[in-house]
Amino acid sequence: MFLAHLNWQEAESVLKAKDLVVIIPLGSTEQHGPLGPLGTDFIIPQHLAEQIEAKTKALVVPTMPFGVAAHHTDFPGTIDIGLEGLTCVMRGVVENLMKHGARRFLFLNGHGGNDPALDKVGLETFRAGGLCAQINWWSLAPALNSQWITGHGDAQEVAMIRAIDNSLIRDDSLIPTTVNHLSAELRNTHLNQVRFGNAAVKVIRDVRSTVNSGGFGGLESGLGTQEWGKEMLEAVVDYCVGFVEAFRQVDIEGAHRHV
Ligand SMILES: [Zn+2]
């Protein structure tokens, strides 16, 4: 079911169902390297939500296309609504649906910068008697298959977009990636992450100071194939369908009981 397709009377009865799971797809509108469209982070969760909807009784709300993307704003086309902005919108979505009975929410997230806002709304929702789960698809994928490495504006996201709509990938725009490593000793292994010894350390910089192309993670290797994307898409959808069924059966009162 899609909330946007129901009338209010239908929504009234759907939201009353004790075991309803509400899926909230969200992402960001931001630069995704030379190949990926600006909508990568919300196009993917929206597509996942549509696939999951077809296989479950979950209620899918309209996709949130904007998120927390301050570190990408040096690249044109990026829109950042800030931590407070996203927190406010997600809180509003959850509160208004809870008012009419919904208790279980699944944030289907496509962008890492959104995590702190979702954590905050998750705890608020818990204290109001509900529960929020959060699936970040790009982190889930490597847990399903260790070959499915992650990054930003990189092979993984390109593969996923190719599986959804190959025409959105700008194959002729590939430019060589130049990484401005923090120092000779502290080399970036990801945006905002350097390697020191056997561990990684987070160092925050604007993305455009770290990498010229905006993408990081194996684009030039040609790894981002449609075949990989299709396999990954199917595995992520299957996992989410299974999770929705398990989440539906959670005893909400039991989850709130002090132990
Ligand atoms: Zn992304």
Q: Any idea what DSSP says for residue 35?
A: T
Inside any domain, residue 68: yes
Inside any domain, residue 129: yes
Q: How far apart are CA 44 and CA 163, in angstroms?
A: 10
Inside any domain, residue 60: yes
pLDDT on residue 218: 65
The average pLDDT across 59-75 equals 98
For residue 119, the surrounding DSSP H or E stretch is: helix 115-127
The confidence band for 48, taking pLDDT boundaries of 50, 70 and 90, is: very high
3-state secondary structure of 189: strand
CB 86 within 8 A of CB 114: yes
Residue 175 has pLDDT above 90, yes or no: no
Name the percent of the chain lying above pLDDT 70: 98
The average pLDDT across 169-193 equals 93
The average pLDDT across 20-43 equals 97
Give residues with Cβ within 8 angstroms of 248, minimum separation 6: 19, 20, 21, 57, 104
For the chain, the 3-state helix, strand and coil shares in percent, each to the nearest 5, are 50, 15, 35
Give the domain CATH number at 40: 3.40.50.10310
The average pLDDT across 21-26 equals 99
Inside any domain, residue 233: yes
Give residues with Cβ within 8 angstroms of 257, minimum separation 6: none
Inside any domain, residue 170: no
Give residues with Cβ within 8 angstroms of 36, minimum separation 6: 153, 157, 158, 161, 168, 169, 170, 215
Determine the distance separating the centroid of ligand 1 and the alpha carbon of 250, expressed in angstroms.
31
Mean pLDDT of the chain: 96
Residue 139 has pLDDT above 90, yes or no: yes
Determine the distance separating the centroid of ligand 1 and the alpha carbon of 137, expressed in angstroms.
10
pLDDT on residue 219: 66
The confidence band for 221, taking pLDDT boundaries of 50, 70 and 90, is: low
Residue 230 has pLDDT above 90, yes or no: yes
Determine the distance separating the centroid of ligand 1 and the alpha carbon of 39, expressed in angstroms.
9
103 CB burial (10 A radius; 0-12, 13-18, 19+): buried
Inside any domain, residue 92: yes
Determine the distance separating the centroid of ligand 1 and the alpha carbon of 111, expressed in angstroms.
6
Determine the distance separating the centroid of ligand 1 and the alpha carbon of 173, expressed in angstroms.
18
Bridge partners of residue 109, in order along the sequence: 26, 136
CB 3 within 8 A of CB 61: yes
pLDDT on residue 223: 77
Q: How far apart are CA 254 and CA 80, in angstroms?
A: 38
Inside any domain, residue 193: no
CB 169 within 8 A of CB 237: no
Q: How far apart are CA 134 and CA 237, in angstroms?
A: 14
Please give the tally of structural domains in the chain: 1
Determine the distance separating the centroid of ligand 1 and the alpha carbon of 57, expressed in angstroms.
28
Determine the distance separating the centroid of ligand 1 and the alpha carbon of 211, expressed in angstroms.
15
Residue 177 has pLDDT above 70, yes or no: yes
For residue 95, the surrounding DSSP H or E stretch is: helix 82-98
254 CB burial (10 A radius; 0-12, 13-18, 19+): exposed
Inside any domain, residue 15: yes
Bridge partners of residue 195, in order along the sequence: 187, 200
Q: How far apart are CA 55 and CA 211, in angstroms?
A: 40
Domain of residue 122, residue span = 3-150+222-256
